[in-house]
């Protein structure tokens, strides 16, 4: 099973200058809760923006750069290699970005976990367009707005029909 996990603003922005354009600690906690103990797949640029493997997870970096190496991650060079890995995994494999990786697997996603932030941010990276007719919203939980989490947000789960 392939699961997507991302946060976006109301215009589909997911990044700006290789970083998140917002500060939302609750979403970072949600990301951690959804990925600890699981396999995550990210592109090389996303990995390099984080700067290290995320602990307590199997980190896969998908890249076309055949010379790329990083300690503590598995490097794969094709979509098929990731799909083959996911087919034998005990749990869902979580696609965590960036945009090119989301685009590459968008027709393969079984489940979408979106943090929707009800704001507009400056951005240069967007979530690819999905065929939303292929998915149904099965859960929507409002996020708590407080001093540290100042943006209205909600956690949405979609499943393939």
Strand partners for 115: 7, 155
What is the reported pLDDT for 109? 95
CATH number for position 75: 3.40.430.10
Q: Which domain holds residue 69?
A: 2-160
In our burial notation (b when 16+ CB lie closer than 10 A, e otherwise), range 115-139 reads bbbebebebebbbeebeeeebeeee
Task: Supply the mean pLDDT for the chain.
Answer: 97
Of 10, 24, 85, 130, nearest to 94 by C-alpha is 85
Q: What is the pLDDT of residues 102-115, one digit of tens each?
A: 999 999 999 999 99
Residue 102: helix, strand or coil by DSSP? Answer: helix
Q: How many domains does the chain have?
A: 1
Burial class (CB in 10 A: 0-12, 13-18, 19+), 102: buried
Q: What is the pLDDT of residues 91-103, one digit of tens each?
A: 999 999 999 999 9
Q: Average pLDDT, stretch 52-80?
A: 97
Band of pLDDT at residue 160, cut at 50, 70 and 90? very high
Q: What is the pLDDT of residues 22-44, one digit of tens each?
A: 999 999 999 999 999 999 999 99
């Amino acid at each position: 099973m392939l699961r997507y996990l991302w946060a976006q603003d109301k215009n589909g922005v997911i990044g700006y200058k290789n970083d998140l354009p917002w500060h939302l600690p609750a979403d970072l906690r949600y990301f951690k809760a959804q990925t600890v103990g699981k396999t995550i797949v990210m592109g090389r640029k996303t990995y390099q923006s984080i700067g290290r493997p995320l602990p307590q997870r199997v980190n896969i970096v998908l890249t076309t750069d055949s010379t790329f190496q990083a300690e503590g991650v598995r490097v794969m060079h094709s979509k098929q290699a990731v799909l083959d890995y996911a087919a034998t995994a005990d749990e869902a494999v979580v696609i965590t970005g960036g945009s090119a990786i989301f685009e590459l697997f968008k027709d393969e996603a079984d489940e979408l976990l979106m943090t929707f932030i009800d704001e507009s941010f400056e951005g240069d990276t967007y979530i690819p367009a999905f065929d939303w007719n292929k998915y149904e919203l099965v859960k929507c939980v409002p996020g708590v707005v407080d001093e540290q989490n100042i943006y209205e947000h909600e956690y949405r789960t979609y499943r393939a029909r």
